[in-house]
A and B are shown apart, each in its own frame.
Chain A
């Protein structure tokens, strides 16, 4: 059974760095891809980037160089790190996984709501 769970802070201070961990079970990170998607309160979804099963990454250029995605396959964890947080980064952050051959997420974590506070 594929499962994903995000863990991270509820609150981050303005200009600080956000770190979220996605812990997966039921599959290997070397066979499935993991995506990061966020959703500001009351708004739509935004694709942030992905860690591909082969270890490569792709990012949404909207985040410029603020965003980094990495993984530890031995711990079945994928990490999101984003710096220079602003108030409009307040959102629920989801990790989600897709088949290795497919770019669209099938399984989703419950998400973690992060508020950026000034």
Chain B
């Protein structure tokens, strides 16, 4: 199975900060990488697909990028509503596998 190593596991940042979360794939996954946001008690919400494509309705402060086997989710200027857990998912190979998640909190 493809392992997705997500870092950091938790992150504390201030309003307006630039925040970056990264997933590293254990094998080549091309651009088959999706980012989800999950707020407490809620279902996940797809934010970015194909590594870099923003889902409709997602604020433009969110972006996705790739550098080799490292995939990043960046929030350019943190807002209070962005406090959530973030998960990456690879979908090139079965089983699809998620990263362990990142808990983003306000400092």
Which residues of A are at the interface with B, using a C-beta cutoff of 8 A? 37, 43-47, 49, 58-62, 94, 96, 102-106, 108-111
Inter-chain contact B95/A47, CB cutoff 8 Å:
yes
Inter-chain contact A61/B95, CB cutoff 8 Å:
yes
How many chain B residues have a CB neighbour from A under 8 Å? 22
Inter-chain contact B44/A45, CB cutoff 8 Å:
yes
Q: Which 6 A-B pairs have the closest CB atoms?
A: A60-B95, A108-B43, A103-B91, A47-B96, A104-B34, A44-B101
B35 to chain A minimum Cβ distance, whole angstroms, is: 10
Q: Considering the chains assembled together, what is the distance between the CA atoms of A47 and B87 in angstroms?
A: 12
B84 within 8 A of A: no
A-B contact count (CB 8 A): 55
B19 within 8 A of A: no
Which residues of B are at the interface with A, using a C-beta cutoff of 8 A? 1, 32, 34, 36, 38, 43-46, 49, 55, 87, 89, 91, 94-101
Inter-chain contact B43/A109, CB cutoff 8 Å:
yes
Q: Considering the complex, give the chain B residue whose CB is closest to the CB of A102.
A: B49
Q: Considering the chains assembled together, what is the distance between the CA atoms of A104 and B99 in angstroms?
A: 14
B66 to chain A minimum Cβ distance, whole angstroms, is: 16
Q: Considering the chains assembled together, what is the distance between the CA atoms of A108 and B1 in angstroms?
A: 24
Inter-chain contact B101/A45, CB cutoff 8 Å:
yes
Could you give 21 example pairs across A and B, Cβ below 8 Å? A37-B44, A44-B100, A44-B101, A45-B89, A45-B101, A46-B98, A47-B95, A47-B96, A47-B97, A58-B94, A58-B95, A61-B1, A94-B43, A96-B44, A104-B34, A104-B49, A106-B55, A108-B43, A108-B45, A110-B43, A111-B43
